[in-house]
Amino acid sequence: MASQHRRDNSLYRRFPRLHLLQAEEGYELLTSKSNKPNIVTTREGRSYYLHDPDQPAREAELFVSGFKEVEPQAHVIFFGIGLGYHIREFLRIHPNTSFSIVEPNTGVMDIFLQHLNEEDWLAGKKIEEVMVGAITGETIATLHRLIDRVSGVLVIPWLPYRALFTANLKKFNETLYRMVSNKKDKMAINHVYEKKWALNSMHNFPFILHSSDFLQAGSEFIAGKPVLIVSAGPSLNDEIEHLRYIRENNLAYLFTVGSAVNTLVEHGIYPHGTFSYDPNEYNVNVIQKVIDKQIDSIPLIFGSTVGKHTLDDYPGRLMHIIISQDELSKHVLRTSEGNKPTIINDAPSVAVIALQCMIRMKADPIVLVGQNLAYRGEHYYAEGITHARGVPASADLPRVEGVHGQQVVTRQSFIKMKTEMEFYISRAKETDFINTTHDGAVIQGTTFHNLEEVIQRRLKGSINASWLQISNESKYDPLFLKSRIAELQQDEEVFQTIMEQIHHALLKIKHKIGLKQANMLNVLFGQFDDLFASLLGNCFFKIYVLPRQRMRYEFLYSKMDAIQSSRNPMSRGEQILLYFGEFIWKCQQDYKEIKSDIREFHRFIHT
């Protein structure tokens, strides 16, 4: 009988990987006195039922009654399937809710699948994913895809699972929390910066064309050489004289990130270069001290999406790195040999940007200085950082392991920076990473040593930093650049046509809905889908418009599967008008705001 179910069951057709299920032992199907099937397991001589032995359906009704108000857009994840009484009841009350299932025990899932038949309650429902067994890499990947395409999550653990699978539920909740938290952070960043990235790219483009690519210019000089990445944590104050000694004797490259340049300049130490990448217009405050003092011997290594006022008055040499959010530069820049520029991933802190660069350039060792990622007493900035107000330490802040074995007070933003640094460090297996930051958080993949010890044991030779003072133009191909800009100008005309056609298609859908002509809608849906696909494939849209609407597109993307799988033409049409209509209207308004900037930029390139 089980094999027959495996051939016919709709879940097997939808999720073929369930054919590979290796059922664990310890769970069995039985029938109660009321002739209702149940699942039972025995632990330490005691029997545990996954449903009420006498009234499983009534138990499910009482359980589901506690979820009277479920957000219409929420995606429900049922942790624990049993025989599905509670899920069936939930879907009876909330029939339009999309859902997924997580079943930690393969034996339970095997019994459920054998008990299920084609006419049962799962057929045709809005099931997104089925995840079975331990939280492994495959489950995490599936969960990532799910979180990316839904707009809200409600986890519902079935009652017995809270006791029977406590550790599994805890690990799942922690994994899900991290994913949702990361998505929220990503959306918050997009909300703040999505309007700035594209405009900053255009504003900074002349500076990119008249500066050298830092990664290309420095790789042969930095490879195999020691590099210090100096951050503005409070422990930086302890290392001033050590840094002075290193700089004066050219024992290692010394690069500051963010505000740390102010502290060093205050003490008369000029680093070999300073990194800056924040897209905000007030980012210039970070280097204001260098500008005010007209120091021209500290190269500024800037991210291509940096705040647009950062570069205007900088007195020293400029060198650029192309940031992953810069769709424009990625599209139009090639070297004369046809090579794309190396891309550095956007990151939660400029220290992570610098770290990526040094790993790409094969520096060794990479030494972190002032990278506390935690409070030191009441402080988390070094002295001399005049523009930073800071946030007071408080008792409710999280704590992490410190380099001296103690617990240090930190913040969620620091934890995210730390996690990101650890990710890149873990991938650079052949590089030695040293953390010299007193009273800082442990950074996995680094070893802690005092900076004085590092000087004595690791900084034996001298480095050649003369290349940092040689002004070079970029080596990008101007003919390729102009040809790409010409293509974008042509694509702008196509973009305008597509937007007009989409507008008319939406009006037709609205008209047919008004006349209740459901039979005519499917043809219009096909036409609309083709037009929207053409929009997504249009380079002008992808370079200039879509990056400024990332968050809305993420939200729209989370709705697409549900809209396209809707079997009710009237309902599907209304959803298209609501979600796609709003997205298209916002894109149109945004295009009107920036088209003069774009056309001025195009004229600049051609002249």
> Are residues 379 and 448 in contact, defined by beta-carbon separation less than 8 angstroms?
no
pLDDT value at residue 388:
43
pLDDT value at residue 118:
54
How far is Cα 77 from Cα 156, in angstroms, rounded to an integer?
Answer: 6
How far is Cα 103 from Cα 341, in angstroms, rounded to an integer?
Answer: 45
- Nearest alpha-carbon partner for 445 in 463, 466, 467, 430: 430
How far is Cα 575 from Cα 566, in angstroms, rounded to an integer?
Answer: 10
Give the model confidence (pLDDT) of 255-277 as tens digits.
999 889 999 999 999 999 999 99
For residue 179, the one-letter residue type is M
pLDDT value at residue 302:
96
Contacts (Cβ under 8 Å, ≥6 apart) of 7: none
387-420 exposure pattern, b = at least 16 Cβ within 10 A, e = fewer: eeeeeebeeeeeebebbeeeebbbbeebbbbbeb
pLDDT value at residue 177:
82
> Are residues 106 and 133 in contact, defined by beta-carbon separation less than 8 angstroms?
yes
Low-confidence ranges of the chain (pLDDT < 70): 1-10, 72, 117-125, 184-195, 377-396, 471
Three-state DSSP state, 364: coil
Model pTM? 0.72
> Are residues 546 and 325 in contact, defined by beta-carbon separation less than 8 angstroms?
no
Give the model confidence (pLDDT) of 102-125 as tens digits.
999 989 988 888 877 655 556 556
Q: What angle do CA 10, 57, 44 make, to 5 degrees?
A: 90
